[in-house]
Structure 1
Amino acid sequence: MTARPGRHTPSAGTPAPPPLEFVATIEVDVDPPITVGRTVDGLRRVVPIRGGRVHGPGISGRVLDAGADVQQYPGDDVAYLAADYVLELEGGHHVLVQNRAVRTGSAEDLRTVMEGGTVDPGRIYFRCVPRLTADESGPWAWLNRTLFVGTGERRPAGVRIDVFRVG
């Protein structure tokens, strides 16, 4: 069997994980959550995204006041998050962020986070898969063909996401 270009070719032993390259930190400012209530899918909340900033090697800009984080709490110790918002990078280029995440911890720690309190980030598992898309004719078109993963930290006034390119 011949491997296609760009595909991992198995070898003896344990496969090596792909390398990760730091791309940027996104700091998102949010308004207080809007609680929908307990639905068939668990507790549902919507957190309005009101701004913030993005910075990293070769990238700088701001988070626009456009978007929301739609949250689903099917249990007391897990949250599924779906945040969609727009970055405006230097030069006026826009990037759409569609971030899907899971946040887990003890029921007490998640309740503290939901109420706007601070919990040691080491006690919360917060991982995400941000999809970044940009204009195909612009300098950020490479984002459209790249897989990213990230780690998150909920803060009282917002969220910090560290984004990594999967090599």
Structure 2
Amino acid sequence: MPTPLFDDLPPALQRVQTRPLFVLRLDVKPIVVVGETPGPFRRVGIVPSGAFAGDRLSGAVLDGSSDWQTVRSDGSTTLDVRLVLRTDDGVAILMSYRGIRHGPADVIRRLDKGEAVDPARYYFRINPLFEAPTGRYEWLNRVLAVGMGHRFPDGPVYSVFEVL
């Protein structure tokens, strides 16, 4: 619902504009359940591989990446992910993101069992940042991105967008 304060903003501040960056698919080994810790309930997904493809960059996800998950008391899961990307032309780029996934309890149970679930039935969003070396991809160092995810039994897929 618009408010007078919102209506007075310049048009550039009234909408978020994005452009596609890439689609990212991660292969994840079976989740390692750490369980209850002195803090939250923890799980870790080891990422041995994956791929990303877009108009401006494409390549592979290198072995050694990981997805540290916190299952919160409200049933949502937060993500803390670190990936190493290698572009098709051989450039290594670091990608990190925080994210959150939540939805109706029955949908989350089905996801946790590896069942097929319509991505419109739950919320799964990430906010990637990049570290790229000087050169062709250094523009990524100045990009904030957002992504929408979907969980398959062997790992997630994300549509990642650059926020303009």
TM-score (norm 2): 0.89
2:140 alignment counterpart = 143
1:86 alignment counterpart = 84
User: Within the alignment, does 1:157 sit opposite 2:147 as a pair?
Assistant: no
Q: Which runs of 5+ in 1 are unaligned?
A: 1-9
1:12 alignment counterpart = 8
| Alignment map for 1:66-85 (pairs within 5 Å) | 66-75=64-73, 77-85=75-83
* Counterpart-to-counterpart distance in 2, 1:31 and 1:76: 26
- Structure (1 or 2) with the greater helix fraction: 2
* Counterpart-to-counterpart distance in 1, 2:20 and 2:137: 16
Please state whether the residue corresponding to 2:22 is helix, strand or coil.
Answer: strand
Moved over 3 A (4+): none
- Structure (1 or 2) with the greater strand fraction: 1
Contact persistence 1:31–1:47 (CA under 8 A): yes
1:50 alignment counterpart = 48
User: Within the alignment, does 1:26 sit opposite 2:10 as a pair?
Assistant: no
Change beyond 3 A, Cα 1:133–1:90: same
**How far off its partner does 1:83 sit?**
1.1
| Alignment map for 1:60-139 (pairs within 5 Å) | 60-75=58-73, 77-135=75-133, 137-139=134-136
* Counterpart-to-counterpart distance in 2, 1:112 and 1:11: 42
TM-score (norm 1): 0.87
AA of the residue aligned to 1:30:
V
Identity %: 34
* Counterpart-to-counterpart distance in 2, 1:64 and 1:123: 31
Contact persistence 1:28–1:49 (CA under 8 A): yes
* Counterpart-to-counterpart distance in 2, 1:157 and 1:126: 16
**How far off its partner does 1:40 sit?**
3.8
AA of the residue aligned to 1:95:
I
Q: Which runs of 5+ in 2 are unaligned?
A: 1-5
**How far off its partner does 1:165 sit?**
0.7
Query: More deviation in 37-46 or 12-21?
Result: 12-21
Please state whether the residue corresponding to 2:106 is helix, strand or coil.
Answer: helix
* Counterpart-to-counterpart distance in 2, 1:81 and 1:41: 15
* Counterpart-to-counterpart distance in 2, 1:29 and 1:164: 20
Count of aligned residue pairs for this structure pair: 157
* Counterpart-to-counterpart distance in 2, 1:110 and 1:41: 22
